[in-house]
Structure 1
Amino acid sequence: MFHPSFGLILVFSQLYNTCISSGQPLPPDRQARVHEARMEQRILSDIRSFVMQTCSTDYKPGILSSKIQNLTTRIVAIEKLLLSQRRRECTALFGSLESNPVVDVFEDQCYYFGQENVTWIEAQEKCQSVGANLVTVPTSELIYFLSVSPHFHGAPFWIGLRWSDRNWKWVTDGEVVEEKATQWGVGQPNGRSSNLCVVVSTKVKKWYDRICKRTFYFVCELGLS
Structure 2
Amino acid sequence: MTTENSTFEKENSEDYSLNSLQLLRSILTTREEQTFLSILFSSSATIRANNFGLSRKEVEKLLGVSKEDAYFHSFLSRVNQAVGRYYRLIYDEERDQVVAMLRVPARSARHTLSEEALAVLLFMFYQQEVLKHEFTLLTQLLEAFGHEIKKGSRRIQLAIDTLRKIGALEIQTESGKEDAYCLTAIGVHMFSDSFLHRMVEFSHSNQLSKEDVMKFFNRYNLYEREGFL
Q: When you count strand as a share of all residues, which structure comes out higher?
A: 1
Work out which of the two has the higher radius of gyration on C-alpha atoms and give 1 or 2: 1
Q: When you count helix as a share of all residues, which structure comes out higher?
A: 2
